[in-house]
Chain A
Amino acid sequence: MAEVIRALRSAEEKIRARWSLLGPLIFSSFILAALLADLISPYDPWKRFNPYQMPGWEHLLGTNDMGHDILSELIFGSRVSLAVGFSAAILSATLGTAVGLFAGYFRGMADEVLMGITDIFLMIPQIPLIIVLAAFLRPSFWLMALLMGLLWWTALARIVRSRTLQVREMGFVAGAKAIGFSDNHVIFSDVLPNTLYVIAPKFMLTVASAMIAEASISFLGLSDPSMKSWGTMISYAFSRGGFINGMWWWYLPPGLCITVFVLSLVMMAGILEERDIEPVKVD
């Protein structure tokens, strides 16, 4: 009986282990596709063929109103979408980590001021603000990433701060301070490494929401027309009649790509977050 249970349990663990591989697998294949776009893309995404072709052998995912090959657009578009997501997340992670570390480590006045600023930034309706700013400025993906990075650090700042408050009370931090290491040294070599595991999952989630936001803002036509992203593909399909005429092959692939890639990020973040849950307690 016990053996049966053990066998069942190990089978379940294997299934779960396999599931947990799914996120990294999807993630890395998308990254690979973006990096190797020149090699794997069947055509130049700007080359014009017959427009409005259904998916077929010639064009696996069909063509759009300009006669561009959708699959090629999709592969090259992933570069822009991923780049926007990652640069926004890197910027906001840097800002959020810095704010959280300094507020949590120095506490007192610095904490009050930094957290006050964080609270104010939390109140900003982010996507509407980006829309307004993008309307005034020349459309650009880099600008979009910059704005998102500048607006999205707040959640991470709060998490890093509360983790820092915990870490700074731990013995080794007090020890390092007592030995006489500078605050900078303690923050970067003792505190920061111990906050990384709360930063990593949040970073993934920030990439995810930056990509959804990119797709949303591009949907409004606020993106650079000289570049293609998944969001602009859907936007054109919607505004140039692809949607209303039922040309599903035009907007379905980019939308599904966003969903699947975001899903892989959320899955990985979930695995990272759950790693520490359920500590075993004896007595």
Chain B
Amino acid sequence: MALLDIRNLSVSFETPQGLVKAATQVSLALEYNETLALVGETGCGKSVVVNAIMKLLPANAKVDGRVIYRGRDLLSLDEKEMARIRGQDIAIIFQNPSLALNPVYKISEQVSESMILKKRSSRSRAEEISSQLLQRLGLKGRESSYPFQLSGGMNQRAMIACSVVLGPKIIIADEPTKGLDQSMVGQVLGEIRKAKEVNGASLLLITHDMEVARQISDKVAVMYCGEVMEVGKTEEVLQAPSHPYTQALLDSLPERGFLPIPGPSPSMIDPPEGCRFHPRCPWRRDLCSIERPVQKSTTTGWVRCCR
């Protein structure tokens, strides 16, 4: 039994332009102590999936399926029960730390807040723990700074502290390296990995960067146009991808020569019939535009492709 089991999760948004199908029948499992990377281009729906797990989607979102955490379906919980899960059991690290932290409070206040409000710790105890945590993350002497006084990387670490201070069992990181320069990426990934190990937690990492996935994850799930196309052990997926989209993503990496994926990004309102990748697929056959491929087992996971 996995720690977090996502079954047939579908999310759509009612918009004036039409129904946006942001995620379609997404099924994923996150095991104990595992790091799973959810990979895909910007706009493929991966953030929607994690926001659906956390129940942080806006009111116009329609969510179907099940998200089972320790035998309970999170989607059936009310806001009060869910608030108890957030932070304590499942924590999330957003991609834009300078905007995610509250501009008018010191970072130590923002870290200790969860302790005071959710664990009923005394203020002094909470502040002690939060300053220890901030020091461990390399923010010694910066505890009483405000977010606008810190760099993006420092805010990123402050937010990691905010998110993991309660010792969550699952850490979700939503594009934690987006917009950071290359020297910072390794450092931030290191901090996240450390936070995961200290808490004995599982990590669900969202990224558009295959290289990041390679560095940190045990398992990779590749998402395209709201669907998961391929899941497997990181080495397998990156060495011998089974899905043409995974191959195309790998080919677009700098060291493989920046080969762009041909064709335009698909519409999420009116996604392609059959296999959603078929308009851009080099191995396309007639069947691909008619029939949605079923999941086929691979050595360490599965793939959604007819080939």
Hey, which bits of chain A sit against chain B, CB under 8 A? 278, 280-283
Contacts and interface: CB of A to CB of B under 8 A. Distances in A.
B58 interface: yes
A282 B268 CA distance: 10
Contacts of A280: 13, 15, 20, 58, 60
B43 interface: yes
A283 B60 contact: no
A182 B58 CA distance: 44
B76 interface: no
B48 interface: yes
B102 interface: no
Chain A interface, DSSP helix/strand/loop, else mixed: loop
Interface string B35-70: 000000011111110000000001010000000000
A-B CB proximity, top 9 nearest: A283-B47, A280-B15, A283-B43, A282-B22, A282-B20, A280-B13, A283-B48, A283-B45, A283-B42
A278 B59 CA distance: 11
Contacts of A281: 58
Contacts of A282: 13, 20, 22, 43, 45, 48, 268
Contacts of B20: 280, 282
Interface in B82-104: none
Interface residues of B, number: 14
Contacts of B47: 283
Interface of B: 13, 15, 20, 22, 42-48, 58, 60, 268
A136 B141 CA distance: 65
22 contacts: A278-B58, A280-B13, A280-B15, A280-B20, A280-B58, A280-B60, A281-B58, A282-B13, A282-B20, A282-B22, A282-B43, A282-B45, A282-B48, A282-B268, A283-B22, A283-B42, A283-B43, A283-B44, A283-B45, A283-B46, A283-B47, A283-B48
A283 B45 CA distance: 6
Contacts of B43: 282-283
Contacts of B45: 282-283
Nearest to B64: A2
Contacts of A283: 22, 42-48
A283 B58 CA distance: 12
Nearest to A6: B14
A148 to B, nearest CB: 37
Nearest to A278: B58
A21 B43 CA distance: 37
Nearest to A5: B62
A283 B11 CA distance: 12
Nearest to B47: A283
A280 B22 CA distance: 12
A6 to B, nearest CB: 9
Nearest to B51: A283
A212 B182 CA distance: 60
B15 to A, nearest CB: 5
Scoring A278, A280, A281, A282 by chain B CB atoms within 10 A of each residue's CB, the highest score goes to: A282
A10 B191 CA distance: 48
A281 B47 CA distance: 11
Contacts of B44: 283
A159 to B, nearest CB: 23
Nearest to B17: A280
A236 B128 CA distance: 70
A91 B82 CA distance: 54
Nearest to A281: B58
Nearest to B43: A283
Contacts of A278: 58
A259 B44 CA distance: 51
